[in-house]
Amino acid sequence: MPASRPARRVLLALAAVALACGRNGAGNARTLVYYESYDPRSLDPALSTDVPTGEMVTLVFDGLTAFDPDGRLVPGLADRWRVDRSGLHYVFHLRPGVQFQDGRPLVAQDVAASFRRVLDPRTMGGRAWPLLPIAGAQDFAAKKSPELAGVRALGDTAVAIDLAEPLAIFPKFLAMPVASIVPDPAPTDLAQRPVGTGPWRFVSWQHDDQLVFAQNPTYWGGAPLADSLRVRIIPEPLTLAAEFEAQRVSVIEIPFSETARWQALHPTWLVRKPALRVIYLALNNRRGALRDVRVRQAINYGVNVTEILHRVYADRGIRARGAIPPVLPGGDTARAGYDYDPARARALLASAGYAGGLDLQLWISATNVPLARVAEAIQADLARVGIRAELVARDASSQREAARAGRADMTLLDWWADYPDADNFLYPLFASASFGPGGNYAFYSDPETDALIRQARRTTNDTARVALYARIDERVYRAAPWLYLWFPVDLWARQPYVAGWDLPVIFNGQHWARVLATP
The per-type count for the chain, helices as H runs and strands as E runs, is: 15, 20
* Sites for other proteins among residues 111-130 (CB under 8 A): 121-122, 124, 126-129
Q: Which is nearer to other proteins, 138 or 455 (CB)?
A: 138
Which H or E run contains 162? strand 158-162
Which H or E run contains 380? helix 369-384
The nearest distance, CB 428 to other proteins, in angstroms, is 5
Q: Which is nearer to other proteins, 35 or 92 (CB)?
A: 35
Q: How many residues line the site for other proteins (CB under 8 A)?
A: 74
Of the candidate spans 55-63, 308-316, 373-381, 433-441, the one that interacts with other proteins by CB under 8 A turns out to be 433-441
Q: Which is nearer to other proteins, 105 or 438 (CB)?
A: 438
Q: What's the CA gap between 30 and 516, in Å, rounded? A: 7
The nearest distance, CB 514 to other proteins, in angstroms, is 27
CA–chain centroid gap for 258, Å, is: 23
Vertex 287 angle, CA 283 and 290, to 5°: 50
Of the candidate spans 39-47, 156-164, 307-315, 460-468, the one that interacts with other proteins by CB under 8 A turns out to be 39-47
Q: Which is nearer to other proteins, 236 or 307 (CB)?
A: 236
Q: What's the CA gap between 233 and 517, in Å, rounded? A: 20
- Residue 367 in contact with other proteins, rule: CB under 8 A: yes
Q: Are 422 and 468 in contact (CB under 8 A)?
A: no
Q: Are 455 and 468 in contact (CB under 8 A)?
A: yes
The nearest distance, CB 417 to other proteins, in angstroms, is 10
Q: Which is nearer to other proteins, 109 or 239 (CB)?
A: 239
Q: Which is nearer to other proteins, 233 or 305 (CB)?
A: 233
Please name the amino acid found at residue 430: F
Q: What's the CA gap between 335 and 256, in Å, rounded? A: 28
Q: Which is nearer to other proteins, 60 or 387 (CB)?
A: 60
The nearest distance, CB 116 to other proteins, in angstroms, is 15
Cα distances (Å, whole numbers) of residue 500 to 183, 504, 517: 30, 12, 9
* Sites for other proteins among residues 227-266 (CB under 8 A): 232-236, 238-239, 242-243, 245-246, 248
Among 86, 109, 204, 206, binds other proteins (CB under 8 A): 206
Per-residue burial over 397-408, b = 16 or more CB atoms within 10 Å of its CB, e = otherwise:
eebbebbbebeb
The nearest distance, CB 135 to other proteins, in angstroms, is 16
Of the candidate spans 38-46, 81-89, 194-202, 511-519, the one that interacts with other proteins by CB under 8 A turns out to be 38-46
The nearest distance, CB 464 to other proteins, in angstroms, is 26
Among 60, 83, 141, 362, binds other proteins (CB under 8 A): 141
The nearest distance, CB 507 to other proteins, in angstroms, is 12
CB-based burial of residue 138 (10 Å sphere; 0-12 exposed, 13-18 middle, 19+ buried)?
middle
At residue 368, the 3 state secondary structure works out as coil
* Sites for other proteins among residues 209-228 (CB under 8 A): 209-210
Q: What's the CA gap between 376 and 366, in Å, rounded? A: 12
* Sites for other proteins among residues 370-429 (CB under 8 A): 394-398, 400-402, 404, 415-416, 418, 428
Q: What's the CA gap between 417 and 420, in Å, rounded? A: 6
Please name the amino acid found at residue 453: I
Which residues lie below 8 Å from residue 344, measured CB to CB, with a gap of 6+?
A: 298, 301
Q: What crossing angle do the helices spanning 462-479 and 447-458 adopt, rounded to 10°?
A: 160
The nearest distance, CB 233 to other proteins, in angstroms, is 6
Q: Which is nearer to other proteins, 363 or 486 (CB)?
A: 363
For residue 97, the tally of other CB atoms under 10 A from its CB is 9
Q: Which is nearer to other proteins, 188 or 268 (CB)?
A: 188
Which residues lie below 8 Å from residue 396, measured CB to CB, with a gap of 6+?
A: 365, 367, 368
Q: Which is nearer to other proteins, 44 or 110 (CB)?
A: 44
The nearest distance, CB 47 to other proteins, in angstroms, is 7
The nearest distance, CB 19 to other proteins, in angstroms, is 7
User: Which of 286, 305, 144, 247 has the alpha carbon at shortest distance from 493?
Assistant: 247
* Sites for other proteins among residues 44-63 (CB under 8 A): 44, 47, 49-50
* Sites for other proteins among residues 17-36 (CB under 8 A): 17-19, 21-23, 25
* Sites for other proteins among residues 69-108 (CB under 8 A): none
At residue 227, the 3 state secondary structure works out as coil
The nearest distance, CB 403 to other proteins, in angstroms, is 10
Of the candidate spans 64-72, 205-213, 260-268, 449-457, the one that interacts with other proteins by CB under 8 A turns out to be 205-213
User: Which of 508, 494, 363, 407 has the alpha carbon at shortest distance from 59?
Assistant: 508
Bridge partners of residue 440, in order along the sequence: 435
Q: What crossing angle do the helices spanning 369-384 and 293-302 adopt, rounded to 10°?
A: 110
Q: Which is nearer to other proteins, 25 or 342 (CB)?
A: 25
User: Which of 244, 205, 250 has the alpha carbon at shortest distance from 225?
Assistant: 250
* Sites for other proteins among residues 163-202 (CB under 8 A): 191-192
Q: Which is nearer to other proteins, 225 or 417 (CB)?
A: 417
Q: Which is nearer to other proteins, 256 or 340 (CB)?
A: 256
* Sites for other proteins among residues 486-505 (CB under 8 A): none
- In this structure, what DSSP letter does residue 286 have? T
The nearest distance, CB 334 to other proteins, in angstroms, is 28
